[in-house]
Amino acid sequence: MQSSLQIKNCQLYRQNERLLSLNEQVNGGEILTIMGPSGSGKSSLLNWLTGTLPSGFKATGDVWLNGKNINDLPTHLRHIGVLYQDALLFSHLSVAGNIAFAMPKGDKKQRIDKIAHALEQVGLKGMANRHPDSLSGGQQARVALLRLLLSEPKAILLDEPFSKLDTQLRVDTRELVFSQIRQHKLPAIMVTHDHSDYDAANGKLFTLNTVL
């Protein structure tokens, strides 16, 4: 079955004022781009999808993931992974520890091999025992991506994940993230202020206009 993330009749309110209205379906390997001015509700939409909408907001509508309505599921059972503009690695854990943290439990040797293989795939061979603080920004971004992917998410949300990276690094990291999304056939939603992110995503665009 092809994976898909469906947003049906979503209406998002902040203090009873409507922020946005959205109906979209994103299939596995597709990236839906959300753009709009600051304060238009982009992050709130992502929060609604992960089940972490703060008080003061209200939403109606349904989220379906792979044919299952997940509206009433708590965040940790939704299996929606988020990549932020900061890598947010745990500084008390090694690179491998960071990645293992979010992985499903299982055979230790298999997990170690899987992490080593994944690191090699993204050009971080032999860095399993490094401390996150000893990595460059681009390397940290790649570890954050692996931590997300190896947690086996069913969908991915990108909240301006490239905005803090310099131009070339930004292009390379974006290419890596998008290629992984396509390879794993995961539905993805990306919030960005940069039109070149949308061009690279090569998918649909949803633009928010309202600013409260």
Ligand X SMILES: Nc1ncnc2c1ncn2[C@@H]1O[C@H](COP(=O)(O)OP(=O)(O)OP(=O)(O)O)[C@@H](O)[C@H]1O
- Site residues for ligand X per CB under 6 A: 14, 36, 38-44, 54, 56, 212
Euclidean distance between CA atoms 9 and 22, whole angstroms: 6
Distance in Å, CB of 212 to ligand X, minimum: 5
Contacts of 56 (CB under 8 A, 6+ apart): 14, 15
Distance in Å, CB of 93 to ligand X, minimum: 28
Place of tokens 């994103």: 26
Nearer to ligand X by Cβ, of 27 and 85: the residue is: 85
Q: Which amino acid is at 111?
A: R
Nearer to ligand X by Cβ, of 36 and 81: the residue is: 36
Q: Angle 80-154-209 (CA atoms, 0-180°, nearest 5)?
A: 55
Euclidean distance between CA atoms 197 and 212, whole angstroms: 25
The HSE-up count of residue 155 (CA atoms within 13 Å, CB side) is 32
Cα–Cα distance list, 136 to 110, 123, 139, 143 (Å): 27, 13, 5, 11
Q: Angle 15-190-84 (CA atoms, 0-180°, nearest 5)?
A: 85
Nearer to ligand X by Cβ, of 88 and 212: the residue is: 212
Euclidean distance between CA atoms 114 and 110, whole angstroms: 6
Nearer to ligand X by Cβ, of 40 and 180: the residue is: 40
Nearer to ligand X by Cβ, of 47 and 98: the residue is: 47
Euclidean distance between CA atoms 164 and 140, whole angstroms: 12
Distance in Å, CB of 110 to ligand X, minimum: 39
Distance in Å, CB of 204 to ligand X, minimum: 18
Distance in Å, CB of 12 to ligand X, minimum: 8
Distance in Å, CB of 205 to ligand X, minimum: 15
Nearer to ligand X by Cβ, of 56 and 106: the residue is: 56
